Structure 1
Amino acid sequence: MHPSRRILIASAFCTALAAAAPFAQAADAPITIMVGGINKIIYLPAMLTEKLGYFKDAGLDVSLQSAPAGVNAENQLIAGAVQGVVGFYDHAIDLQSKGKEIEAIAVLCKVPGEVEMVSTKAAPTFKSMADAKGKTLGVTGLGSSTDFLTRYLAGRKGVASADISLLPVGAGNTFIAAIQQDRIQAGMTTEPTVSQLLKTGDAQVLVDLRTESTTQEALGGLYPAASLYVQNSWAESHKDEASKLAKAFARTMVYIHTHTAEEIADLVPRDFYGNDKALYVTALKASLPMFTTDGHMPAGGPETVLKVLATYKPQVKSANINLSKTYTNAYLDAK
């Protein structure tokens, strides 16, 4: 065969392979994980795993990126731009209803870690979610987990979605500004924003989803939230990497439960807490109980999440959802 013809045939063969597997990835290729707000304490295990060197210990080349909300990170995963996301588990159920399969391979929080904060100005007439009618409530983004949860909390108190306005205000400083400017009368956010608002007196706790007991009271059960999730197809074709990732996060969960808030705070970048490290430590102490001890999915958790989503998303119904495809402990337990 003429050399140029061999080259042409080889080139055509490689092109066909690329077209058949557009998101194929070499086993030792770098792994990009997008975090739905890297400085949020609910997603702290991502940065900790990097700082503790657990990715490198596992032989993984991992880079972390940050997105303003979990829904943005989810879109990047589906597009194949990243291999994993640290975001809320409920996206796995929501996406399955749309024909997309992603699964949580390590669960970081057994409860949302979110808090519905009411502005001090609105507090005298806004004492529970039953008073939310006609109010504007802040969420990180429309279609985000805070969107689902806010509507569910209001609904359980008899307030229909049509009777509230949801405004995407992000997190951190943008959320605080929205409270201070009265653009929202209440909103859902996480630590350390919660502790910052309490310190300045700009807002008060309305519904606390940072503990097991308050979450069970508000939602009717545990609500596994912050998780490491990937596309099911990626995990199946990269079982070794998926297992190493899951186990690296599990090591971090053990570290969190065997070290003090002060020791953990010493590991995070300074821009996570600015000039008030003491406030960050206070926020950490309030948050540590929400983390799982080993990365496993808590029993009964997926069912609670499905119940919440099914309330306001017509396409999310028990008959249409196979929960076993939305999470797995297999990569944590692999030998």
Structure 2
Amino acid sequence: MKYRKHIAVVLLAIGSLLLATGCRDSRTIPTEHGRPQITIMVGGLEKVIYLPAMLTEKLGFFKANDIDVKLLGEQSGATAETALLTGDVQAVVGFYDHTIDLQAKDQCLKTVVQFADVPGEVELVSKQDADTIKSPKDFKGRNLGVTSLGSSTDFLTQALAGQEGLGTSDYTRVKVGAGQTFIAGMNHNGIDAGMTTDPTVAKMVTSGDAKILVDMRNEQGTRAALGGLYPAASLYMRCETVTSHPDIVQKLADAFVQTLRWIKTHTPEEIAAKMPAQYAGGDPKLYVKSITDSITMFNGDGLMKPEGAQNVLRILGQYSRNVSPVKDHIDLNATYTNEFAAKAQGVRQP
């Protein structure tokens, strides 16, 4: 009898633990009235590089594919990946390179829709330093703005400097976030140069507060800066989630690929009109310009180009402390799949 009671107590404890932690397991996707309930964290909802996330919601493509999606904003991709690993969200819209970086830490993340083949990032130099910082070789002794340490902007900053023979001891990486915090950092001498995206780029260049040093919003600029493509904005999930819920992953892929195709057939003005008014920051014309300058980055099909994935591994293998020691053991095939985006090509537009 005592043995039975002991077993009962143990089972009750395990059940209570599962109940308490189940809501934080990203492999478990809750449903309501038969519809999957997905929470996606986006590394900056207002950033043009991640525009497909909110645009998909505004176009109604999530609901058209019979899923309910909640979008959460987070300025740092590094923080977003942590939320995914802890089970707070089921997916992330962020940079593909996190899937490689995490594999080096024995964690498995997989990109299921690739939005862009280039970073969409720009290295800006402040107006007061524009005469002395002409290229990344002038980064020595400078304060360089990144979203956060360990973020994709951090990797890319190290890559730009590293190709000029500079190591991280030659300059200082400063966490300045994005948007207004980035602008404040540059305008108040917190950073001499820094990496950011539109609409921040459009605001600072138009105001005259900064100049473009390196432009990675298009293929030509990216190949010149990084020696090849650098696939960036994507939808990635834990590998366990992809394996356990392929039907739900397919619904997400269908929705995002429909949006990528929609982008290719509509003007920046039409795209801007679908986005939340506050994203324009009170200047609709400037917001349209920011979309115009970045919109060619989106690939239209959601597919990863193997060439690009290989170049990301090459760069991280040189400049990421996590990836460098294990670069020869990274399995790129485990970091992305084209299965869902390829199948989505046959889905008709609503």
Q: Which residue of 2 aligns with 1:288?
A: 295
Q: 1: distance between equivalents of 2:284 and 2:156?
A: 30
- Aligned to 2:112, the other structure's residue is in SS state strand
Match of 1:25 in 2: 29
Task: Select 1:152's aligned residue among 154, 159, 163.
Answer: 159
Q: How does 1:183-332 map to 2 (within 5 A)?
A: 183-316=190-323, 317-332=326-341
Give the structure 2 partner of residue 48 of structure 1.
55
Q: 1:135 to 1:241 in 2, by over 3 A?
A: same
Report how far residue 314 of structure 1 moved: 4.1
Give distance in 1, aligned partners of 2:165 and 2:125: 18
1:122 lines up with 2:129 in the alignment? yes
Determine the C-alpha separation between the residues in 2 that align with 1:202 and 1:185: 11
Query: Deviations along 1:153-176, whole A, 9 cap, x unmatched?
Result: 011112221101000001111111
- Provide, for residues 71-106 of structure 1, a one-character-per-residue CA deviation record: whole Å limited to 9, x for no partner: 111000000110000000000000000010000000
SS in 2 for 1:72: helix
Q: Distance in 1 between matches of 2:331 and 2:254?
A: 25
Q: What is the CA-CA distance between 1:318 and the residue it aligns to?
A: 3.1
Indicate the SS of the match to 2:274: coil
Contact 2:257 2:301 in 1 (8 A): yes
What residue number does 1:37 align with? 44
Q: What displacement does 1:217 show? A: 0.8
Report the AA paired with residue 18 of structure 1: L
| In structure 1, C-alpha distance between the alignment counterparts of 2:321 and 2:194, rounded to whole Å | 24
Higher mean C-alpha displacement, 114-123 vs 23-32: 23-32
What do the CA deviations read for 1:41-71 (whole angstroms, capped 9, x no partner)? 0000000000000000000011000012111
- Deviation digits for residues 218-247 of structure 1, max 9, x if unmatched? 101100000000001001101100011011
Q: Contact 2:29–2:90 at 8 Å: present in 1 too?
A: no
Gaps of 5+ in 1: none
CA distance in 2, matches of 1:314, 1:143: 10
Corresponding position: 1:176 with 2:180: no
Q: Which amino acid in the other structure matches residue 114 of structure 2?
A: V
Post-superposition Cα deviations, 1:132-154, rounded to whole Å, max 9, x if no partner, equal 00000000111000000001101
RMSD, matched Cα: 2.0
* TM-score, structure 1 as length reference: 0.94
| Cα distance in 1 for residues equivalent to 2:216 and 2:143 | 20
2:147 counterpart residue number: 140
Residue 312 of structure 1: how far off its partner (Å): 2.0
Letter in 2 for 1:332: A
CA displacement at 1:127 relative to structure 2: 0.5
Residue 43 of structure 2 contacts residue 75 of structure 2 at CA under 8 Å; is this kept in 1? yes
| Equivalent of residue 80 in structure 2, options 68, 73, 77 | 73
Residue 332 of structure 1, CA deviation: 2.0
Q: CA deviation at 1:299?
A: 3.2
| Distance in 2 between residues matched to 1:35 and 1:130, nearest whole Å | 32
Aligned pairs, number: 328
Task: Give the drift of 1:17.
Answer: 9.7
TM-score (norm 2): 0.90
SS at match of 2:75: coil
